[in-house]
Structure 1
Amino acid sequence: MGKLDDTNRRIATGLFFGILLLLGPLLVRDYGMGWDERADRMVGYMSLRYVAQLVAPQVLAAGHFTGIHELATHGDADHGPVFQILLAGLEIAFFRHNPRGAGWMRHLLTFGVFVAGVWAVYRLGRARFASWRWGLVGAGLLVLSPRIFAEAFINYKDIVFLSLFALAVLTLTRLLHRPTVRGALLHALVCALATDVRTMGILLPGLTVAFGALEMWARPARRAAIVRALGWYLGALAPLVVLFWPFLWEAPVTRFWECFGSFRRYRQTMKVFYLGELISCQRLPWHYLSVWLLVTTPVAYTALAVGGAWAVLRGLLARPTAWLRHTTNRQDLLFGAWLLGPLVVIVVIQSVVYDGWRHVYFIYPAFVLLAVRGLRAGVRAWQEAPAASAGRRVGWVAGGLLAVGVMHTVFRQVHDHPYQYGYFSFPPGPVAGSLFERDYWGVSGRDGLAWVLAHDPGATVAVSDTLPQKITMYNNLLLLPAAQRARLRFVPHAQARYFLGIYRWHPWPYEPQFGTPVHDIKVNGMTILTVFQR
């Protein structure tokens, strides 16, 4: 029986991750380019240029860094560069004169990191629930989350950080289970990489020390081994963070503190559209992140996560000391801290957030694992209920509703492709568009430009370069074939034949002077881009 189950595990997990990996190259060309992509690319190139100046100045003569800003004086130098350095190096090596291919390469590798994060969630679920099947359920819920899946191709920062954070929690649980020097150094490496993508990675050493202390209390026989492992971890973490972040090299402590302060204050003058109003991101209500999470997460997942969180809280409050003695319960507590801790920290330090809840996407794997906890608890309660009892009947109804909810999510993920980043769960599309930001990435601009070029026979096509449309138009121009790029002309609005409305900072209908609407891109009835002809 054991060999048969192991064979089934290998087949099921192989198929799941094989199909997931195959989806990357199959779908990567369907997505446009996000708002921040060229700015993020510059971060990678600036960091590489800085390293080249120090260790190989002759490389600068090759012309790879012509037009690249100085790292120390650029406004985005405080952005974690480690993933962008990798992408910039690959672009220089293989896509120097192919911006379209470089864009697809960057998207594909971003998705590859996401697959690694999905694998981490699978392993966390498999270890926590002692079942590879439940681990696959968790991995499946993460993949079948429309916004997360779409942004896995286009979001270099938040999705990459989500994936690395999940990998760091995986290495943490392994370190707590078996405290070794090798495990401590591996955990330090993953935590450093996560921190060098987003400074919120500094939460990881806090979680590591806190749950290391809890583990020493629960398993006093392993206290010395845990103390030694934590010492190696803390000793290696800071040097590794500095190693992969060239901006920190000259003044590690001062500059890292500056970067963290920038994270709190970044774009503090920007306005966001929330609950039907344009408001400053400095004056967002405390519920901003939680409401965004609620309205963009499938309802079935939210119900399961609430059930899982309630099961954890009930066990903790009933007999806290005895409950914490169990390894699986301490893992549940870790998932809860992973989910709620960052939200509390952001509210307490009054950090600037915008563009929905993308800055805290890294808590979503914990949300998913708690949803699996809730589903598992519900299945067990149903199994233990007497046959033909009210509990069994309620279980059948709840199970049916959950199945319908999951199937609806799958339908939306397929139907909305490639615009799943505009997914809202229960608000109807037009209602969601009147209350919340739409395509704040501007990714739909690529398809808007492609539509214009396909329907205008002119040798040149004049498109308005009005801000903020100009940013997303210039970005998405790079993903068009060279012949189409040559036809486009970005001109002042008064000279343009076409205007592409992306509804960022303009959530209401566009005025008549923008032209006659000739094409819309919609997600579930919500317009995310309109092409106007003048």
Structure 2
Amino acid sequence: MLPIPLRTFFAARQRSFYVRLYFGLLLLVGLFCYKDYGVSWDEPVDRTNGMVSAKYVGGLVAPEWTSNQAAFTDTPDIHGYRENDHGVLFEMPLAFVDQLIDIRDSRTYYLLRHFAVFLVFVVGVWALYNIGRVRFNSWRLGLLLSTLLVLSPRFFAEAFYNGKDIVFLAFFTMGVYTLVRLLQRPSLARAAVHGVATAAAIDVRILGVLLIALTVGMVGLEVLFGADARARRWQFARALPVFGVVVVVAVIIGWPYLWEAPIDNFLTSLENMKRFRWNGEVIYLGERVSTLALPWHYAPVWIAVTTPVAYIGAFLLGSLATAFAVLRHPIAALRTFEGRLNVLFIGWFALPIVMVIALHSVIYDGWRHLYFVYPALLLVALRGAWALWQQGQRLRWMRPVAVGAAGLAGLEMVYTVGRMVQAHPQEQVYFSFLPGEEADRLFERDYWGLSYRQGLEWVAQHDPAPQLNVMGQNGGLIENNLAIMKPEVRARFRVWQPGQEQEAGKQLYFLGAYRTHPEAYPPSLGGEIYTLKPYGVTALSVLHAW
């Protein structure tokens, strides 16, 4: 029997040890995996976006150094650049690192980039852990929550190459964590930190302005229903203006596009986001559907089929529990800090999805534009699982149900880990419960184009010829994935363009993925000699023609 202070001390040391061990192991996993992934559609463009802003900033701060950088010679000027309104808080520092350490080879750059994306993802996992620790008053449940995110196959894969959606997820989650800290104990320092975190999210993607709405709404709930509301009103009355000023200043500092005309350019960027229209096609439920005419259920269905079943079941349970508590005793539910956080998590998840449906917003490539709501889904899911477990402890007849549900969820997590290891490094084509042939028929598969790297490596390993002639459904994706391969292997490949006359006696390999091409490739392109099928889903075919 230790005195309470000693017990508290040792418990804190235990928590610190296990939390550090957990995140140390997560970083170690990243070190083992970051070299394995290909280069996606967006990465070359994202790199250019960062270079454009870096050139602009460098020209203002260090014009002589900037003029001596050969890479900036071919970099477009920010004025008139088509994508100059994109947030570059992640891309621009990476561009400066690229120039400062003088990266000469594309493979080095993309490996650095992939590890940098993963580091940002780890920060997001850490933020989610802390939100869970506060909400459930348990560091163990906080680590369980983090594990749910890491063991989400598509998110794990994209944590190495998706510099847009995963980076925004991490920054948005950090913004929610700083909001939770502000709500716990309002102060000017916490308001300023939350302002910086909010600005950082906005400077990655302008949709981060949702954090401002969540902040105002949650502060309103704290003032109305929090303990000692009268005393806290003055604290929040002082904190909110500080938050607002810091957000404005930090957003402008972190977004060079705004420097010359902060208000006008910000409004232009916001309007461009509202009016964004990509007139393309996606494969959805077995049909070709225009991105301008997506059904309302497009995002919910994609969420359902790409999220582990146990997570979805627990999320539904948590949503029902929250709705029941609020509707049955709204005042009592909102009187507790945990109850108000439950409302925050539901709003975090539901508000963006409702906006997409109501505004008929264009989204594509699954639901990647809404990835930032996924941590909220996990928080609600853990609330549902924890509520079921607590009921099992109180009611004898519920105990077998709670234990059985926990056992099934644990088995699915183990099964998911096994499937991730087996599918590596193509976890991005994960479907939770659909058989491979059904996924092939109903949905797009490797829309990122990462499987091209594995196909190219297979060709290089199985054909010793000094020159390997390849062409693909998309030549740009072949070029992207050659860029991350070792220089000596890359030098063996020659990319052919459609319609280019084939040289007599030269072998030609055709690589085709299945983004907007759900059907098999015609025999006229050659015989299929290799098929990449992670999770039983056909991600890439390699055809051989003479």
User: Which category describes the TM-score, using the shorter chain as reference length?
Assistant: over 0.9
Of 317, 320, 323, the match for 2:330: 320
Quick one: distance in 1 between partners of 2:501 and 2:54?
40
Q: 1:64 aligned to 2:71? A: yes
Q: 1:481 aligned to 2:486? A: yes
Given that 1:442 and 1:502 are in contact with CA atoms closer than 8 Å, whether structure 2 keeps it comes out as: yes
CA RMSD of aligned residues (A): 1.4
Given that 2:168 and 2:204 are in contact with CA atoms closer than 8 Å, whether structure 1 keeps it comes out as: yes
**C-alpha deviation, 1:238, in angstroms:** 1.8
Of 197, 201, 207, the match for 1:190: 197
Quick one: distance in 1 between partners of 2:90 and 2:205?
11
Quick one: distance in 2 between partners of 1:128 and 1:487?
55
Structure 1 runs (4+) greater than 4 angstroms displaced: none
**Paired residue for 2:346?**
336
Q: TM-score, normalised by structure 2?
A: 0.94
Quick one: distance in 1 between partners of 2:257 and 2:489?
38
**C-alpha deviation, 1:348, in angstroms:** 2.1
- Check 1:303–1:222 CA distance in 2 against 1; reply closer, same or farther (3 A cut): same
Of 394, 411, 424, the match for 1:417: 424
**Paired residue for 2:544?**
533
Of 253, 256, 260, the match for 2:263: 253
**Paired residue for 2:50?**
44
Bigger mean CA offset, 479-488 vs 36-45: 479-488
**Paired residue for 1:460?**
467
- Residues 417-436 of structure 1: matches in 2 within 5 Å? 417-436=424-443
Quick one: distance in 2 between partners of 1:287 and 1:95?
47
**C-alpha deviation, 1:403, in angstroms:** 2.1
Q: Residue type matched to 2:478 in 1?
A: M
**C-alpha deviation, 1:87, in angstroms:** 0.9
Given that 1:82 and 1:196 are in contact with CA atoms closer than 8 Å, whether structure 2 keeps it comes out as: yes
Deviations 1:3-23 (A, max 9, x none): 343233123212211100111
Quick one: distance in 1 between partners of 2:375 and 2:123?
12
**C-alpha deviation, 1:432, in angstroms:** 0.7
Given that 1:429 and 1:524 are in contact with CA atoms closer than 8 Å, whether structure 2 keeps it comes out as: yes
SS in 1 for 2:74: coil
Quick one: distance in 1 between partners of 2:492 and 2:241?
60
Of 122, 131, 153, the match for 1:146: 153
Quick one: distance in 2 between partners of 1:149 and 1:337?
25
Structure 1 unaligned blocks of 5 or more: none
- Check 1:439–1:95 CA distance in 2 against 1; reply closer, same or farther (3 A cut): farther
SS in 1 for 2:364: coil
Deviations 1:7-47 (A, max 9, x none): 33123212211100111111111111111000000000000
Of 287, 290, 302, the match for 1:292: 302
Given that 2:475 and 2:497 are in contact with CA atoms closer than 8 Å, whether structure 1 keeps it comes out as: no
**C-alpha deviation, 1:232, in angstroms:** 0.8
Given that 2:277 and 2:292 are in contact with CA atoms closer than 8 Å, whether structure 1 keeps it comes out as: no
Given that 1:263 and 1:352 are in contact with CA atoms closer than 8 Å, whether structure 2 keeps it comes out as: no
Deviations 1:409-456 (A, max 9, x none): 222222211111110001111111211110110011111111112222
Quick one: distance in 2 between partners of 1:458 and 1:78?
46
- Residues 69-218 of structure 1: matches in 2 within 5 Å? 69-218=76-225
Quick one: distance in 2 between partners of 1:96 and 1:173?
40
Quick one: distance in 2 between partners of 1:371 and 1:8?
26
Deviations 1:68-120 (A, max 9, x none): 11212222222211100011111112242022111111110110111111111
Q: Residue type matched to 2:485 in 1?
A: L
Q: 1:516 aligned to 2:522? A: no
Deviations 1:144-200 (A, max 9, x none): 110001100010010010011110000001111221111111111111111111111
Deviations 1:205-234 (A, max 9, x none): 011111111111122321011011111111
Quick one: distance in 1 between partners of 2:265 and 2:528?
48
**C-alpha deviation, 1:66, in angstroms:** 1.8
**C-alpha deviation, 1:304, in angstroms:** 0.8
Structure 2 unaligned blocks of 5 or more: 1-6, 503-507
Quick one: distance in 2 between partners of 1:78 and 1:508?
37
SS in 2 for 1:18: helix
**C-alpha deviation, 1:140, in angstroms:** 0.8
Of 293, 310, 323, the match for 1:283: 293
**Paired residue for 1:304?**
314
Bigger mean CA offset, 490-499 vs 443-452: 490-499
Of 10, 13, 26, the match for 1:7: 13
**Paired residue for 1:502?**
513
Given that 1:122 and 1:138 are in contact with CA atoms closer than 8 Å, whether structure 2 keeps it comes out as: yes
Quick one: distance in 2 between partners of 1:53 and 1:14?
41
SS in 1 for 2:169: helix
Quick one: distance in 1 between partners of 2:58 and 2:530?
47
Bigger mean CA offset, 41-50 vs 190-199: 190-199
**Paired residue for 1:347?**
357
Given that 1:264 and 1:350 are in contact with CA atoms closer than 8 Å, whether structure 2 keeps it comes out as: no
Of 229, 232, 247, the match for 1:222: 232
SS in 2 for 1:31: coil
**Paired residue for 1:264?**
274
Bigger mean CA offset, 444-453 vs 107-116: 444-453
- Check 1:445–1:180 CA distance in 2 against 1; reply closer, same or farther (3 A cut): same
